[in-house]
Structure 1
Amino acid sequence: MHALLILDMQIGLFHGPDKPWAGEALLNTLNNLLSKARQAGAPIFLARHIGPPGSPFEQGSPLTQLVQELVLRGDEVIFEKSRPNAFVMTDLAERLQACGAQGVIIAGMKTQYCVDSTCRAARDLGFDGVLIADGHTCSDTPALNAEHIVAHHNATLAGPFCRVIQAEDWRF
């Protein structure tokens, strides 16, 4: 069984000044994944990134709250993390093992930070990591536009670090 892990779909990142690429499409993809996970009885985890005290993303900041566009039912496990890798300094690995998940479906934000770090870590920890190719995004940077960052990470992570699959092709 695979659990669904959605990273950092927070007000401050999604609705912040640097708009994510293809944000509306991402929301549709994530809500479809949530629905498919529920229908299959797969565990659902959502991470919220928390910054240091005094930062815009400090614990309790409204910017750390999950976006309301996600269709949540209250049966999801929502946890806080303070590092890009969602496994570091959290109990995510233990929770996945406790619910019998051999793999984790990874989606959310931001591609080159938390999505990348978590994909790489999942395999190191013995989980079958699956990145949803059309299930993650970021904002443009001075070096690359977001569409190219997403494409680059899908190509780079596929194989050595995780499987990369389109959302419509994934079955829980």
Structure 2
Amino acid sequence: MKTNKEINMKNNKALLIIDMQKGSFTEETPRYDTPGVIKRINTLASVFRELHYPVICIQHDGTGTGEFEKNSPQWENLDELEINKADLKIDKYVNNVFYASTLQTELKELEVTELFITGCATDFCVEATVQAALTKDYNITIVGDAHTTGERPHLKAVQIIEHYNWVWQHMIPTKGRIKVEPTSLIKATLIQK
């Protein structure tokens, strides 16, 4: 069976799943609508695989920091997240997944021009990756109901998610475009093509 990397990618789309790791989803760090976010990510990942678009699972590797040590329970993806053997796996080391990782090389090799972004945490790694992707001229779709975060001292998680969805909808793109859409619309649009 061919991997996503070996298949000719039509329309050059890729789904990014950022930091859906056990260490980010604990009793001490609850995330907003975790079951719903996981379900929506799994739904989109299934559609991307059926259409032979790459699914890229990104995991924070904190080796040497004492947190998210590679291959530790914290580093592992959530059990409910459906990861396929053919999915690409990328380690990241800071909030921005493009920094010091193999992501940009993989995307260029696959000739990806359009990113669909999901994951955790909205206000940290998702936001940093969106900003970096903008400066690299990607077309970006943030899956508005498939990213999550936790409560902050001054804001509820749902407010943070709503705020960033609004910010991203009003950003000035570089050569690409940026939009925020719900899972259901993205799924319907992909299936129609």
| TM norm structure 2 | 0.85
Equivalent in the alignment of 2:75: 64
1:166 positional shift: 0.8
SS at match of 1:62: coil
Contact 1:53 1:59 in 2 (8 A): no
Of 87, 102, 105, 2:98 maps to: 87
Of 130, 136, 140, 2:151 maps to: 140
Contact 1:50 1:81 in 2 (8 A): yes
Single out whichever of 45-54 and 81-90 deviates more from structure 2. 45-54
- The structure number with the bigger radius of gyration is 2
Taking the aligned partners of 1:132 and 1:49, their CA distance within structure 2 comes to: 20
1:52 positional shift: 4.8
Equivalent in the alignment of 1:165: 181
| TM norm structure 1 | 0.95
Of 103, 119, 123, 1:112 maps to: 123
Give runs of aligned pairs for residues 8-23 of structure 1, distance below 5 A: 8-23=19-34
Report the aligned-residue RMSD: 1.3
- Matched positions, count: 172
Deviations 1:4-63 (A, max 9, x none): 000000011123521100011001101101111011110010111122514222233210
Taking the aligned partners of 2:27 and 2:132, their CA distance within structure 1 comes to: 27
Taking the aligned partners of 1:72 and 1:48, their CA distance within structure 2 comes to: 12
Deviations 1:64-110 (A, max 9, x none): 11111011220101111111111110121121111121111100000
Gaps of 5+ in 2: 1-11
AA at the equivalent of 2:133: A
Equivalent in the alignment of 1:103: 114
SS at match of 1:58: coil
Query: Alpha carbons of 1:147 and 1:47: their partners in 2 closer, same or farther (altered >3 Å)?
Result: same
AA at the equivalent of 2:184: E
List structure 1 segments (4+ residues) > 4 angstroms apart after TM superposition. none
Of 32, 38, 42, 1:27 maps to: 38
Taking the aligned partners of 2:69 and 2:27, their CA distance within structure 1 comes to: 15
Taking the aligned partners of 2:164 and 2:84, their CA distance within structure 1 comes to: 31
Gaps of 5+ in 1: none
